[in-house]
Amino acid sequence: MINPKITGNYLSLKPLVNFAAAGSGPVDWRDYFGRKAKLEVEIGFGLGDFLVRNAGGRADTDFVGIESGWPLIKRALRKIGIARLTNVRLLLRDARIALRLSFREKSVSVIYALFPCPWPKKRHARHRLFDKDFFKILNSRLTDDGFILIVTDHEGYFGWLQSQVSGTGFLCNTEKIGPQFDTKYERKWNSNGKELFHKLHLVKERHISLRQGQEITLISRTAASFDPERFHPTGLRGHFMIETKDFLYDEKQKRAMLRLVISEDDLLQDIWIEIQKQERGWQIKPARGCGFIPTKGMQAAMDHVKVIAEASAI
């Protein structure tokens, strides 16, 4: 018997897809489910209520839930275990990277997003997930008869979502609906008196194929010198947009960690770069356990870190 004090109340980790395997390229979901079946995806499943009910009532379909935080993954794992479901798998990673890296073209039948964060403040709007670029990624992953279902309570976000659909290969149908998904936020808004929500039903009309050949073999760099105390990381603007965020340094281990946000084409990556003291210089490479797609932008970021690391010691 599993000790809930050790596992944090989840009953089994089996539904959680191995992060390293998911990061190595498109996943063959038949291997994880042990069969060939229709595949549906829920982005940001929250407490997992709809995901578990959906899977529990449709044993002939396989489901993948995507969340970026462990607490929600843990809750969903427990619910999946209690329901004894074998047709659900969970991915703990950013949805952009998950859909870009872990799914093949035309492999998903339906994609759900129930009450995604609207990021209502103007200065936070750049964090919104469902922009034109992301819709194009979703289009490429959907089967020819596939569709996306998005539900929101936010009027402004509803309008913004519609503005992002043009040119992404979808026909957008909208309607106002009453509560029907029984999720945390639907219950919350309904208890506050909200009786109608906005539904977007995006039907795939034409296929958009993502450009191939973006993944490359990354080459780690070595900075001849590096002074953590004088290190003031700066970004880079050009073909790739590289923003520096957090910086940490462990004097005992002689290791620095630099958080970067890299923007290239239709891909945004938020990753950590490790700067580790070696016998000859400081090795620069992606931090262990950090989910990323090996692209030219990633390589440019490591090259840039080498330059600014060596500049700190001048």
Query: For residue 31, which amino acid is it?
Result: D
According to the model, what pLDDT value does residue 290 have?
Answer: 75
Question: Of 134, 131, 125, 146, whose CA–CA distance to 97 is shortest?
Answer: 134
SS3 content of the chain, % helix, strand, coil (to 5): 30, 30, 40
According to the model, what pLDDT value does residue 266 have?
Answer: 63
Contact status, residue 185 vs residue 179, Cβ threshold 8 Å:
no
Contact status, residue 72 vs residue 92, Cβ threshold 8 Å:
no
Q: Indicate the SS3 state at residue 145.
A: strand
Contact status, residue 264 vs residue 71, Cβ threshold 8 Å:
no
Segments making up each domain of the chain, as ranges? 4-204, 221-311
pTM of the predicted protein model: 0.76
Q: What is the pLDDT along the chain (314 residues), one digit of tens a residue?
A: 344 443 457 788 999 997 655 555 688 899 999 999 999 999 999 999 999 999 999 999 999 999 988 899 999 999 999 999 999 999 998 898 889 888 999 999 999 999 999 988 888 887 899 999 999 999 999 999 999 999 999 999 999 999 999 999 999 999 999 999 988 888 988 888 888 999 999 999 999 997 544 567 899 999 999 999 999 999 999 888 999 999 999 999 999 999 999 988 767 788 999 999 999 999 999 998 777 778 889 999 999 999 999 999 98
According to the model, what pLDDT value does residue 214 have?
Answer: 52
Residue found under tokens 């690391």: 309
Contact status, residue 203 vs residue 282, Cβ threshold 8 Å:
no
Q: Which residues of 90-118 are buried (b: 16+ CB within 10 A; e: fewer)?
A: bbbbbbbbbbbbbbebbbbbbbbbbbbeb
Strands 88-92 and 61-67, how do they pair? Answer: parallel
Question: Of 231, 79, 44, 299, whose CA–CA distance to 149 is shortest?
Answer: 44
Specify the CATH number for 4-204; select among 1.10.3720.10, 3.40.50.150, 3.20.20.10, 3.30.360.10: 3.40.50.150
**Positive or negative CA dihedral for 81, 83, 84, 85?**
negative
Query: For residue 173, which amino acid is it?
Result: N
Query: For residue 220, which amino acid is it?
Result: S
Strands 88-92 and 108-114, how do they pair? Answer: unpaired
Query: For residue 67, which amino acid is it?
Result: E
**HSE-CB of 93 using CA atoms within 13 angstroms:** 26
Contact status, residue 170 vs residue 203, Cβ threshold 8 Å:
yes
Q: Which spans in 84-154 are helix H?
A: 95-101, 132-141
DSSP for 34-76, please give it: TS--EEEEEES-TTSHHHHHHHHT-TTEEEEEEES-HHHHHHH
